[in-house]
Amino acid sequence: MKKKIIFLSVLSLSFLNQNCSDDYLDTAPTEQIALEDILSEYNNNDGAESFVTSIYAKYLDWNTSTFAWIGISSITSDDADKGSSPGDSGSDKDVLDALTFSSTSPSFQDVWEGHYQAINRSNQALKYLPLLDKADASLRSRLEGEAKFLRAFSYFILVRSYGDIPLVNKVFENTEEDRTMVFTRKSKAEIYAFIESDLQAAIAALPSKSAYTGSNMGRASKGAAHALLAKVYLYQKKWQQVVDQCDQVVGYSLTPNFQDIYKVSGENNAESVFEIQGKGGPSQPGIQQYSQVQGARGAGGWGWGFNTPSQSLVDAFNSEGDTERRDATIIFRNSTLYDGRIVPATVENPYYNYKAYSSAFTGDDDSDANIRYLRYSEVLLMKAEALNELGQTSNAATYLNQVRNRAGLANSTATTQANMRTAIYKERRLELAFEHDRWFDLVRTGQAQAAMAANGKTFKVGVHEVFPIPNKFILEAKGLATQNPGY
């Protein structure tokens, strides 16, 4: 009897392989495949690539990158409100906005399952790629580097969101040992160590961004692995390692006009370090409804109107006189967008997320917009923060001011370590608004309680630093896993 790949429902560890074409984002699925068939049908360059294509494809899915993730990474924060209509809860976006969520709030299960699905696809790739001996060895090495980068990327999202989590580092084989693996939560320190190991391996295997051309644009690169590793160290306050990794992110530059970053024409530009790629349009692999759920709602609008910029964020831009980034981040009623679209007074909410806007959007669910996850400006800000924490405040100002100057702002006046720290935190908010970092920045820097109070929300110290483990997982673990405190 042929040995089939195992499906585990609780973590949704399903393997969905992809046929390969000229575009690595081709997402046509095939059936689950027997090991013998993998070795005969996929033992070539195209077959090898298809394993990693399936990982990238997972980041286009609704449960990985869209409504739930928007909810827990952005609507929870002081940068955004639920938006939409007052009576539209968006499943649970109202309780996410109010910080009254629980372990049964569906967004937490979606994000959990989506990223464990991505991790499983990475594990599948890393298991089978070494067996495909008829595929080019250098290609297989690069693909293994991509799989490890993407596995690290998903684990970083999960550990920031949930704290201690299961470490699933191999394909599940339905043994008691593997059942323990998928239900036993490991400490954040163990998860971070695993992420670091994966990224170090990815750095050794991946080429520079410039090596990718044509349909390969957007694949994980050596620079992306260095930048993500710097961010992993940032969350652990390993300041010198942050500096060291940032110094290795070379060949990138700031885009002169901030708004150009977020146009379709600005995708994968010189500032881009890593983006989730979405084409959009009929039969194209767009990110499922990412633009649509955040588009302007009401008469003359084009979307559902969720994740609207808060007045707090508008005021933060205005207090700095930061009109350039404000007007590239926030869509206002009665404004004309860069492509000539007029936003009428009849749309329901006063503000919308400009960074999720796609001028190519014509009503298709999967619109043409990438998600910018790592940009060179953040590398500069990470280096500035680390240098300041190392006591090198004047050096930190050099990197902070590069970001400020691009936005048309004068050099920072901060001279003390404490004032520089505040200036960097503020700069991260304005530079990276709606790029899925604000909530996690508030938590890691100890600003969450005060920031939430200023925005009319109650942040429970000792509870809200992590989100609840999905209740479905706790039930299926049958005592192998416990819930986060307070939930």
User: Each residue of 92-121: pLDDT tens digit?
Assistant: 999 999 999 999 999 999 999 999 999 999
Closest CA to 165 of 175, 154, 177, 150: 154
The pLDDT assigned to 368 comes to: 80
- For the domain bounded by 1-206+460-487, which CATH number is listed? 1.25.40.890
Distance CA 94, CA 47 (A): 44
Integer distance in angstroms from the first to the last C-alpha of the chain? 45
Name the pTM for this structure.
0.94
The pLDDT assigned to 9 comes to: 31
Of residues 174 and 251, more confidence is placed in: 251
| Cα dist from 265 to 9, 275, 295, 359, 371, whole Å | 40, 14, 19, 10, 14
The residue ranges of every structural domain in the chain are 1-206+460-487, 290-369
Residue-wise DSSP of 226-265: HHHHHHHHHHTT-HHHHHHHHHT--S----SSGGGGGSGG
Cβ–Cβ under 8 Å, residues 366 and 289: yes
Of residues 246 and 18, more confidence is placed in: 246
The pLDDT assigned to 19 comes to: 32
Tokens matching residue 31: 């059936």
